[in-house]
Amino acid sequence: MSRKLRVIARLDVKDENLVKGVQFEGLRKLGDPHGFALRYYEEGIDEILYLDTVASLYGRNNLGDVLCRTASDVFIPITAGGGLRSVDDVRTILRMGADKAAINTAALKEPRLITQVAQAFGSQCMVLSIQAKRTASGGWEAYYDNGREHSGRDAVEWAAEGEARGAGEILLTSVDCEGLRRGMDSELIRAVRERVSIPVIAAGGAGRCEDLCAAAQAGADAVAVGSLLHYEKAHVADLKQALRDGGWEVRK
Amino acid sequence: MKHICVIDYGMSNLLSVSRALEACGFEAGAVSSPDALNGADGIVLPGVGAFGDGMHALEERGFPDALRECASAGVPLLGICLGMQMLFDSSEESPGVKGLHLISGKVRRLPSQGIDGSVLRIPHVGWAPVRARPGGTLQGSALEHLEDGSELYFVHSYAAQPEQVRDALALAFRGGVPLCAAAQRGNVLGCQFHPEKSGPAGLAILKRFFT
């Protein structure tokens, strides 16, 4: 039986706008994120992922308003991330309508937070976000602050440690591919897939519908898509049809 | 406008359930004491977390007797996820803790292996279609429209096993193994999936059940 792939709309948010950058830099404003999320919901997307792109720099998450509005008319799972530093921060975004929390920077700085969040709200709530960048030696290093700062940790080992500490999913973004629309880093997906048994969400680089099939082939359980949708290069139905054509199951 | 009470016992994200009820044309209100259930046109018992914690939180606030009274008075009562599990007698998750006894049966941990030997991940997270139990039907129930194969969103590690076959309304399958996706006894309905997170197919269940 083929695996069922989830298709997730990823919305990077800065202040009150949906933004899209290239390799996390040069952010372009696209408009009210809630409007985009509602359109993708109506088109049949499986989940929504909101990431506050500047929150970790300022140490606060500004997604409250957009989460509240989204919870009023988007009835699918919503993940929120960016600048979440504590169990209380996670509780706050859950109360505002999120179902899961994506955490990167704070988990790298304080890995115990992964366990604390998983214990407080269940592991299904704790999404470990990893920004992985290729190294000269052929591996990947985990970065934070939108791919600006390097942690010194091997990204694949960090994924395995995250699972051991209680993460329920890995959100795996390739810093090298992010925003370039030239395809996702299949080798990275495969390397992480081989080390963890929890779901892996592949993000960063999808520029054509076919890129989703490559990520699925490499072992992704879900694909997060940004600019393909935001710039209307593809609609949700096109993404799902491409996966179906590639032999993968998707939600109708 | 019908007023639906959402039980607030500190264990759940009430916002999504309330917003979903409002989107269906109901008035939704969070209720943290049993007195406030007077005059309710319907009740939702939501829930995320462990069975024992949930039952203790309900007992602390005096809800179990009030919920049983409302159920026997014919008020539509919907349990979601842990809220469904608590409608039953007990759970392997919290041995010794008594449930609400509104539907007889036990809650058991999900199997970790499919009939073909495949590994089944726990928690079970994701979208799955449901169908009527063998010999049963969804016709006439709040899940009637799901016969088209619409999928619903599940997040759970345990699932109920009704003692009486006729209480099992709908099944979902993982690796060929059935799990009870919905159970119903009269005006009491339990959904293991999250209708408030399952898109239009989920909202339609809320609308049908409380209309």
Instruction: Please determine, for residue B126, whether its predicted confidence score (pLDDT) is greater than 80.
Output: yes
E-strand ranges in chain A read: 4-14, 17-22, 25-31, 47-52, 78-81, 100-103, 126-134, 140-144, 149-154, 169-174, 200-203, 222-225, 249-250
Q: Which of B81, B93, B156, B180 is catalytic?
A: B81
Beta-carbon pairs below 8 A across chains A and B? 66
pLDDT, tens digit (0-9, with 9 covering 90-100), for A80-102: 999 999 999 998 898 888 999 99
A64 to chain B, any CB pair closer than 8 A? The answer is no
Q: Which two tokens stand for residue B39?
A: 């005059």
Q: Are strands B168-174 and B188-191 parallel, antiparallel or unpaired?
A: unpaired
Label residues A168-202 b or e (16+ Cβ within 10 Å = b): bbbbbbbbbbbbebebbbbebbbbbbeebebbbbb
Question: Among this protein's residues, is B3 annotated catalytic?
Answer: no
Question: Among this protein's residues, is B124 annotated catalytic?
Answer: no
Could you tell me if A50 and A38 are in contact, meaning their C-beta atoms sit under 8 angstroms apart? Answer: no
pLDDT, tens digit (0-9, with 9 covering 90-100), for B132-176: 999 999 999 999 999 888 999 999 999 999 999 999 999 999 989
Least confident stretch, A55-69, B90-104, B121-135: A55-69
A76 to chain B, any CB pair closer than 8 A? The answer is yes
Q: List the domains of chain B with CATH numbers.
A: 3-210 (3.40.50.880)
Mean pLDDT, all residues of chain B = 95
Residue B179 phi/psi, 5-degree rounding, is -130, 150
Q: In chain A, which residues have their Cβ closer than 8 Å to the Cβ of B151?
A: 251-252
Band of the pLDDT at A60, cuts 50, 70, 90? low
Interchain proximity A75–B23, CB inside 8 Å: yes
ipTM: 0.92
Interchain proximity A99–B197, CB inside 8 Å: yes
pTM of the complete model: 0.93
Least confident stretch, A35-44, A60-69, B51-60, B138-147: A60-69
| Secondary structure of B87-111 in HEC code, one letter for each residue | CCCEECCCCCCCCCCCCCEEEEECC
Instruction: Please determine, for residue A250, whether its predicted confidence score (pLDDT) is greater than 90.
Output: yes
**Cα-based distances in Å from B137 to B133, B147, B177:** 7, 9, 19
E-strand ranges in B9-120 read: 27-31, 42-45, 77-80, 90-91, 105-109
- Beta-carbon contacts of residue B143 (< 8 Å; ≥ 6 apart): B130, B169, B170, B182, B205
Closest C-alpha among A229, A233, A247 to residue A41: A229
Instruction: Please determine, for residue A2, whether its predicted confidence score (pLDDT) is greater than 60.
Output: no
**Of residues A197 and B26, more confidently modeled:** B26
Best interface-test mutation with B: which of A75, A96, A125 has the largest number of B CBs within 10 A?
A: A75
pLDDT, tens digit (0-9, with 9 covering 90-100), for A228-248: 999 889 999 999 999 999 999
Q: Which residue of A has its CA nearest to B156?
A: A124
Could you tell me if B175 and A4 are in contact, meaning their C-beta atoms sit under 8 angstroms apart? Answer: no
Could you tell me if B133 and B169 are in contact, meaning their C-beta atoms sit under 8 angstroms apart? Answer: yes
- For chain A, percent of residues with pLDDT exceeding 70: 96
Q: How far is CA A224 from the centre of its chain?
A: 6
Apex CA A76: angle with CA A217 and CA A104, to 5°? 65
pLDDT, tens digit (0-9, with 9 covering 90-100), for A143-188: 998 788 999 999 999 999 999 999 999 999 999 998 888 899 999 9
Interchain proximity B199–A75, CB inside 8 Å: yes
Band of the pLDDT at A1, cuts 50, 70, 90? very low
Closest partner CB to B48 (pick from A41, A96, A122): A122
Q: Which two tokens stand for residue B123?
A: 């928690």
Three-state DSSP class for residue B51: helix
Question: Among this protein's residues, is B151 annotated catalytic?
Answer: no
Q: Which two tokens stand for residue A24?
A: 């996390």
Q: List the domains of chain A with CATH numbers.
A: 4-250 (3.20.20.70)
Residue B130 phi/psi, 5-degree rounding, is -125, 160
